[in-house]
Amino acid sequence: MDSLVAHVLAWVATTALGALAGFLVSLLRRQFGREKALAKGMSVLLRGRLVDIHRRYVVEGKPCTVDVKEEADEVYAAYHGLGGNGTGTHLHDEIMEAHISRKRQ
């Protein structure tokens, strides 16, 4: 009788642990998917900000303040940290070469 109880308890414990492991794996996959989507979304927004700054101060040729250049550096650092590169690097480089204005905006 003790052997049967031990056998049933082992079976119940194994089933419970398997279910818990499956739940945890599912939870981790969902969390990883959300983090990946958030990182991608943030990367898109940061790139958009670089495009906006580039359009105004490089394409339109308006004088760029030091504050805007510092913002562009911060935006690019975050963008690059999320894996963005290529076009963002080109935009950043051209923003850094833009004419500097002494006035604050």
pLDDT in tens, 6-51: 878 888 888 888 888 888 888 888 878 888 899 999 999 999 999 9
Task: Give the predicted TM-score (pTM) of the model.
Answer: 0.69
Per-residue model confidence (pLDDT) at position 103: 62
Looking at per-residue pLDDT, the higher value among 75 and 103 belongs to: 75
Domain count of the fold of the chain: 1
Kindly report, residue by residue over 66-86, the tens digit of the pLDDT.
999 999 999 999 999 998 878
Residue 26 is part of which domain span? 2-101
**Dihedral Cα 66, 70, 76, 81, nearest 10 deg:** 160
pLDDT for the residue numbered 53: 96
